[in-house]
């Protein structure tokens, strides 16, 4: 009985560390995306729609506005599922000018698979990170 409990706590600990690593990746991706959004005023190539506002646009940003921000997010989140990421940048690319602070928010919804951890945290773990750039 004790061995089963120790095993369950061990499995829970591994997933909990995985959730913490995901949160750190999301935080780092938000900081990097804010830096890229603030340092490059790329032209909106024929599209005013940002890449994160379109289904699948985060994974294939080349034909949408703010493609550099989406590429930066994907590079920094590693193996996290891009379909479970939510990104927002304000002001939008078309409304940006020099010396305007840019706010990037990234949200990630990760399913909790450990039954014991699910009792404490629910079905999904949601992490949100905000970053600002000048």
pLDDT at 48: 67
Q: What is the pLDDT of residue 20?
A: 94
Domains of the chain by residue range: 2-133
The pLDDT of residue 47 is 58
Higher pLDDT, 29 or 114: 29
Contact present, 57 and 74 (Cβ < 8 Å): no
Query: What would you measure as the largest C-alpha separation in the chain, in angstroms?
Result: 64
pTM of the model: 0.84
Task: Read off the pLDDT of each residue in 73-98 and give the average, rounded to a whole number.
Answer: 84
Split at pLDDT 50, 70, 90, the class of 44 is very low
- Which residues have CB under 8 Å from 17's CB, separation 6+? none
pLDDT score recorded for residue 59: 81
Mean pLDDT in the chain?
85
């Amino acid at each position: 009985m004790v061995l089963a409990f120790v095993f369950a706590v061990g499995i829970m600990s591994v997933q909990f560390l995985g959730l913490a690593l995901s949160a750190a990746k999301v935080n780092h991706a938000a900081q990097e995306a804010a830096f890229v959004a603030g340092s490059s005023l790329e032209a909106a190539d024929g599209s005013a729609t940002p890449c994160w506002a379109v289904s699948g646009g985060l994974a294939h940003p080349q034909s949408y506005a703010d493609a550099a921000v989406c590429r930066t997010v994907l590079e920094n989140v590693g193996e996290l599922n891009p379909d479970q990421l939510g990104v927002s940048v304000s002001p939008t690319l078309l409304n940006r000018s020099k010396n305007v602070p840019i706010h990037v928010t990234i949200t990630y919804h990760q399913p909790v698979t450990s039954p014991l951890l699910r009792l404490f945290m629910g079905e999904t773990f949601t992490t949100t990170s905000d970053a600002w750039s000048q």
